[in-house]
Structure 1
Amino acid sequence: MAPHAGLVHLKEYDIRDSNVELIGTNLDHRVKYNSAATEPAWNDGCVGIEPGLFIWRIEDFAVVPVPSEKYGHFFEGDSYVVLHSQKTTSKDPDNYDSDTAKKLIHNLFFWLGAHTSQDEAGVAAYKTVELDEFLGGAATQHRELQASPSDDFLALFPRLTIRRGGVASGFRHVEDAPEVNITTLLRVFKHHAAFGGRDSVMVYEVDPTWRSLDESDVFILDKGDKIWVWQGRACSPMEKAKAAQVVHDMTLAKHVDVEVVTQTESRSRTVVRELGGDSDSGGDGGFHAARPVRASAASAEEDSAVRKLFRLSDASGELTFDLVGEGESASGGYLDGNDVFLLHDADRAIWVWEGRGASRAEKAAWLKVAQAYVQKLQSEDGNSEVYLTPIASVREGSESAAFSKAIQGR
């Protein structure tokens, strides 16, 4: 029996019909900043001051730092807040000591596991808004879903590992598990980034059944007393190398036999049998299983016809949401610092740009509008996966490189 079988999980977050992103967006900025100023997680002397990567997990409504040695390891039952701060050089005429000044630019992500609870997701969303206030309101904010991570998020983790379990459910984490024989199957595969981004290798826990096998990837079967590595006939050298690293890490904690087999070897059928299969499993069609992560969109040129730019404005006395550009005309030339704009960049991302002069109502409504827009598209096509599209927001003067490319149609 799986370690989490029979346990009761809190109500799970459903991105398709929940508005947890709205938590806290109508609060006054001063209230949020005062709350942030008393949050121990942000006041460690490094956040907002030093460049680097910082990760927190939501545990019992608290923001708990993740040890740096566990960066890149996420549990599908949890929600996380991730901050990436980088130095950038900008001209600063007021700095008499130097012609340039170093400042930090920030990317903020709240990552929602497939089985996180609504409470955890809500806290992660609220704390992301709060941390942005603490950083001066200039961070690019991203909502990340386990099944559809953005390229910006994956770029932070050359090896991303998703495991089952979670804090709120009481699920047992792998590193806390006692020495018992539990069958665990990990899928190692390369995720291709769009537009010249860096490809990443993901390690993803999947159902321990032969139906999870795919001949394009590498699989690690941990039986407790032995570890098998099953290499699909079409797997890449990068996937083999990453699987070797994972197995090395696993065997540091326990000394067990490791056997590596390729799909073309007859002894590879042993792994299939260990996963409940027989001599007919895989058949003439081979082993094929859908990857648990949605692939990135291919290219801007292919999808330019569906790029759309909308304006959110209350100039008329009430909030309006109007299409101002489509296809090639959905460009930065329409951006007006007095309003908020939503860019649907094909299937790659939904961006919200906040002008400096936008009203409080316009800024407060952006997430509500983005969510309503996603739900409208979803209702128009019941099979659409538009709800998986990454959502991010930027502010005028603090645009990220990814947004700049998106608004230029690149």
Structure 2
Amino acid sequence: MSHALNFIKAKQYPASTQVEVQNDGAESAVFQQLFQKWTASNRTSGLGKTHTVGSVAKVEQVKFDATSMHVKPQVAAQQKMVDDGSGEVQVWRIENLELVPVDSKWLGHFYGGDCYLLLYTYLIGEKQHYLLYIWQGSQASQDEITASAYQAVILDQKYNGEPVQIRVPMGKEPPHLMSIFKGRMVVYQGGTSRANNLEPGPSTRLFQVQGTGANTTKAFEVPARANFLNSNDVFVLKTQSCCYLWCGKGCSGDEREMAKMVADTISRTEKQVVVEGQEPANFWVALGGKAPYANTKRLQEENLVITPRLFECSNKTGRFLATEIPDFNQDDLEEDDVFLLDVWDQVFFWIGKHANEDEKKAAATTAQEYLKTHPSGRDPETPIIVVKQGHEPPTFTGWFLAWDPFKWSNTKSYEDLKAELGNSRDWSQITAEVTSPKVDVFNANSNLSSGPLPIFPLEQLVNKPVEELPEGVDPSRKEEHLSIEDFTQAFGMTPAAFSALPRWKQQNLKKEKGLF
């Protein structure tokens, strides 16, 4: 396992890359199906012809072909389904660097501050086979992560090296792991399920539910703020007094049914079903008030059949390549690369903070070629939206499960920032700013460029609630929609002088002038 992790580091692959250990002679069907022709030393083919070891083909350097991005090979490795999850499972938690069996009442509950080992046993004919999942929480200590790998080796030896080891970073749960819990898997942001845990959990918790079947469904905890809702999904809001099942306009019937099932795992109380747009006042109170969230018309389409596709665009290997990332999440976005997110009616062009100029230019060209060569006859005028790291709009983040807008904010977590801010009004404003940034748009026949925000008269913006603002106004940046003359009149200074002020002073001035 250590060699594999070192290989991942040397190749600069994402830290979330999964590692599966295969033992000679005990290779799983998933592994064997990755090879065009799998042969074993004790097998023959045809009329007794034994296999031979061939020579390694020379790698030819070729220009990247954008048409290859349209091919979606369906291999067993992507599904990771050796069976339907009905085998036997044993679960341990790493505690004081040792394995401690998880109580049956906590099966299916995974806390971000813990690491778990799951030994899954299934039969092929009369022979037992094993999968050993190593689940590592995003807030687990480095000692616990190291201990989980060490304990996996010991457990592997106990079973004569037969288990297939699968490292699972939090948020990267494969379908088979979810199928073991039959649609009742719950992942918590942090915390622990240890018996001696003295830290009480929050009184209000919000869970984003995704999936339409037993092997695709999990509930993933997100911060309990309105900003984190998404019209395309179902959410479970657990409070001290009740439990809400919030159904976005774009969720399907299957998603609602699976959400009801996993909601019973989260709370035993009766669920109050809430349809988007018909929320009771107490619902918004529990979330700290209303706030902008991912609710574009596209996300509200119930029959949305387009599967978003994410491509990493990089020249790390010496030549430019666009590689599709299956089952993606926010952790796949690397700061030193460029990514293309295709959601059919628009393509997002995400630029990492440390991406080089060659990657940006090549990715822009690839995005245009991708649209022009698409086998479905895509409109070459499809908008390509430029998104900078740390300034992602809800129309982009809405395609990612449990998006964390503070992931790149000086490495501070949501809870750390919340504790520092304290005031709920200030907190709502800041989250609104983070989730409602400016983006640039170009199409297949234009260059990468940015344009100014639309300008509106001062009287249309001062002391106006969100619902009364003109279309196209960012409610968290009203001042940027003013002309220079109106801005100077309102604030008594130029936009440049205002920008030089500390953020807290800018906020106070905006409140004073009715532009908050």
For normalisation by structure 2, the TM-score amounts to 0.40
For normalisation by structure 1, the TM-score amounts to 0.49
Q: Which has the higher strand share?
A: 1
Larger radius of gyration between Structure 1 and Structure 2: 2
